[in-house]
Structure 1
């Protein structure tokens, strides 16, 4: 297993890029919820919903489940008994594998090879403990015997949305915070993501949902459903604090063009109608935090009047996949949902870096 440094050839130079989520997966990586304090006293309910999500994913593809201690492993094994899940005892701070886990890369078509990038993780600008979670990509690379690039920059998977074909989406409110990569500009990110992930065109939105502790991750508001299709959250109520930001995003998206110069098809996705509050104020529930897997899309549900409308909006966008609504009412107490809790490993052979 080779470890690449910034002085070595980049993934782009070796023909690697990050594929979109809808391409075939080998597995999904997750981390079992373990800290009742981090979940504001809702851990039991969170584990119930989390187990339902993990079991659903395991119907379609293998789940690689990280468990941090004996109690977590015992609880996870009991709740997931009989499911297609492989367990790993690994020190964890939290469960948000989208952000703390690696970003996988692929190259080739018939004989697809898979590598990964190990970005730094600092819990969204130092908001929580992160030292254990920052080591997750190194564990994954070692377990898979997979070549990987170690980078000094902080980058969370939930802050970047990949379309395939070279396009990606992010938000300025997240990427340009001084608590992540001070001094790294929009231009700097463009070069960095071109070299490391094969991004040819980086689209910028301004910001995300109110009271999102990630500083506005793109995966809570706006997602690609295909290379030329973008689904984005909207809030029709002018009195709602999310209305202005979502309206501005919608205007910007309508002006954007694909790498080929064509307009995107923009699909409006409602936010939940009801305002939810948790231990730290207003919560950021959203249907955009769906997870695309092999043959399915898992969509968060909140017991809200707009739950069904969200399902009906997404179903035509994924005609070859089963659209599955699952409760996320307790999970959202932690500030995220299904996409935040998962990280896909693309199908292919792990590349150990011995040849290029």
Structure 2
């Protein structure tokens, strides 16, 4: 049987793949600041690895190049691809990369993408995994199952975290049982145990992606967000997940270490609650890039994460305008593992 394996995010990357933000139906009047913070993210990632960016047209390319120059980003560290997308969420519409342990090769997994249950156009996004695989010259496996990269998190040691609210949602794979979904996760990501949490946070249009609530930070440790305000809509959701987390064990039966992160103060846009969460950080080779939200909990969240990631610089970037698009830095990024 073929042995595929998804490395943990903190393992060394060959690079990071992104899609440049532009969609006016996603970012509205915020697009200029969104692009400014986005290129700040690119700068920090580029200090440790190559950054690949999908763009739609010449206007986007010129805008990106101008901003990269303004922020003094090394142009040799950024590869621009004329691969048009519907939106910026490369974690979900891009290929998910795994290793073939027998051949020692990289493999691009192309799960079906239906824009989080058919919520948005996705005709261009559907083509991105194929183009990524072709550019890198790696094998592509097409999988008859809807799955987004933000809905899973792995520890590189046999465990995969996900949520029932997303993967078992009838708008994803109504023809598949929970057991069939688990079998595919084990087969393609090289894991032996699936850890199911319940609901995602309020305002998350993905139906509850794991990368907004709980993340592996090493092989036996998770970091999870907690809401202290009992009157907040997220309080009960996150308490339930926290209590479930306490029952989880690794593949050897050992309980997981659990570190808690605060939730930021609620962020709203035109009266709607946004899915602002410090858990949506991205672990690059050089830095851990953390969304901040102009509130007094930002500093505490950064301090907690810096205490966890001692070998990397933890960088907070204001994501108050980016989260108007209903995601932040982890949602925007997709890592390409390093083979050797």
TM-score (ref. length: structure 2): 0.96
Instruction: Look up the match of 2:169.
Output: 177
Query: Retained in 1: the 8 A contact 2:267–2:320?
Result: no
Counterparts of 2:288 and 2:67, CA distance in 1: 22
Instruction: Look up the match of 1:144.
Output: 136
Question: Could you list the runs of 5+ residues in structure 1 that have no partner in the other structure?
Answer: 1-12, 350-356
Tell me how far 1:187 sits from its aligned partner: 1.1
**Which of 96, 99, 119 is the aligned partner of 1:106?**
99
Query: Retained in 1: the 8 A contact 2:18–2:51?
Result: yes
Tell me how far 1:105 sits from its aligned partner: 0.8
Q: Deviations over 1:59-82 (max 9, x none)?
A: 111100110111111101111134
Query: Retained in 2: the 8 A contact 1:60–1:293?
Result: yes
- Correspondences of 1:209-224 after superposition (within 5 Å): 209-224=201-216
Q: Does 1:319 align with 2:310?
A: yes
Counterparts of 2:84 and 2:100, CA distance in 1: 31
Counterparts of 1:347 and 1:257, CA distance in 2: 28
Counterparts of 1:189 and 1:152, CA distance in 2: 11
Counterparts of 1:195 and 1:112, CA distance in 2: 17
Q: Does 1:39 align with 2:32?
A: no
Aligned-pair RMSD on alpha carbons? 1.3
Tell me how far 1:319 sits from its aligned partner: 1.0
Counterparts of 1:43 and 1:246, CA distance in 2: 31
Counterparts of 2:303 and 2:295, CA distance in 1: 14
**Which of 34, 49, 52 is the aligned partner of 2:37?**
49
Tell me how far 1:317 sits from its aligned partner: 1.2
Counterparts of 2:279 and 2:228, CA distance in 1: 16
Counterparts of 2:118 and 2:159, CA distance in 1: 29
Tell me how far 1:280 sits from its aligned partner: 6.3
Secondary structure of 2:160's counterpart equals strand
Query: Retained in 1: the 8 A contact 2:26–2:324?
Result: no
Instruction: Look up the match of 2:251.
Output: 259
Query: Retained in 1: the 8 A contact 2:212–2:277?
Result: yes
Instruction: Look up the match of 1:234.
Output: 226
Tell me how far 1:153 sits from its aligned partner: 0.9
Q: Does 1:116 align with 2:108?
A: yes
Q: Deviations over 1:38-86 (max 9, x none)?
A: 2122111111111111111111111001101111111011111343100
Tell me how far 1:112 sits from its aligned partner: 4.0
Q: Deviations over 1:86-131 (max 9, x none)?
A: 000011100000000111111449x942111101111101111111
Counterparts of 1:88 and 1:135, CA distance in 2: 13
Counterparts of 1:17 and 1:114, CA distance in 2: 10
Counterparts of 2:269 and 2:7, CA distance in 1: 35
Instruction: Look up the match of 1:329.
Output: 320
Q: Does 1:64 align with 2:64?
A: no
Instruction: Look up the match of 2:5.
Output: 17
Query: Retained in 2: the 8 A contact 1:40–1:279?
Result: no
- Residue correspondences, number: 335
Secondary structure of 2:87's counterpart equals coil
Counterparts of 1:55 and 1:193, CA distance in 2: 33
Counterparts of 2:164 and 2:180, CA distance in 1: 13
Query: Retained in 2: the 8 A contact 1:220–1:289?
Result: yes
**Which of 150, 161, 167 is the aligned partner of 1:158?**
150
Tell me how far 1:36 sits from its aligned partner: 2.2
Q: Which stretch of structure 1 is more off in the superposition, 185-194 or 198-207? A: 185-194
Tell me how far 1:15 sits from its aligned partner: 2.1
Instruction: Look up the match of 2:299.
Output: 308
Q: Deviations over 1:273-325 (max 9, x none)?
A: x2211146111100000000113211111111100000111112111111111
TM-score (ref. length: structure 1): 0.92
Instruction: Look up the match of 1:9.
Output: none
Query: Retained in 1: the 8 A contact 2:4–2:187?
Result: no
Question: Could you list the runs of 5+ residues in structure 2 that have no partner in the other structure?
Answer: none
Q: Which stretch of structure 1 is more off in the superposition, 274-283 or 316-325? A: 274-283
Larger helix proportion, structure 1 or 2? 2
Query: Retained in 1: the 8 A contact 2:152–2:161?
Result: yes
Secondary structure of 2:155's counterpart equals strand
**Which of 278, 281, 286 is the aligned partner of 2:269?**
278
